[in-house]
Amino acid sequence: MAARRAPGATSTPTRRARSTQAAATSSDGDPRAVVRALKREFSRLQAADSRLTEAEQSLDGLRRERDQQKERTDQAQASLNLLTETLEAIRAIGHGKRVDRRLAKAQKLAERGLRRAQAGGGRATKRQ
């Protein structure tokens, strides 16, 4: 048996066009059809609004996370710059005839640290 169509309804490629057209041509149609069409549109609008709200909240969260990461990166870069300056100062310390073992060791460590910082690694490894 063929499906019955509402009077004035035409076949359109999208659901939205059909429901809005049914609402627009309702002056001679069934008022219940208009109410149904409006309910459908209202529920679609609510669903779209809730998706938009979720997307905005997600965007806010991602922006907050990006800002926190940028702050941490800036702090790490500042610490690296300070460490590099300190290591260069240690390396530049001159000593007389007698070399203090602690100074020599500090200068060796400073050289190693500077090489790592310049290589971009900058990671600390545990010595065994």
Total domains in the chain come to 1
Tell me whether residue 51 is in a domain: yes
Q: What is the average per-residue pLDDT within 88-114?
A: 78
Write out the two tokens for 18.
């059909």
Residue at 69: amino acid letter: Q
Tell me whether residue 3 is in a domain: no
Range of the domain at 41: 15-119
Tell me whether residue 97 is in a domain: yes
Q: What is the pTM of this model?
A: 0.49
Terminal-residue alpha carbon distance, the chain = 84
Tens-place pLDDT, residues 44-91: 999 999 999 999 999 999 999 999 999 999 999 988 888 888 888 887
Tell me whether residue 1 is in a domain: no
Tell me whether residue 35 is in a domain: yes
Q: Which of 19, 18, 23 is nearest to 40 (CA)?
A: 19
**Residue 29 per-residue DSSP state:** S
**In whole angstroms, what is the distance from residue 73 CA to residue 79 CA?**
10
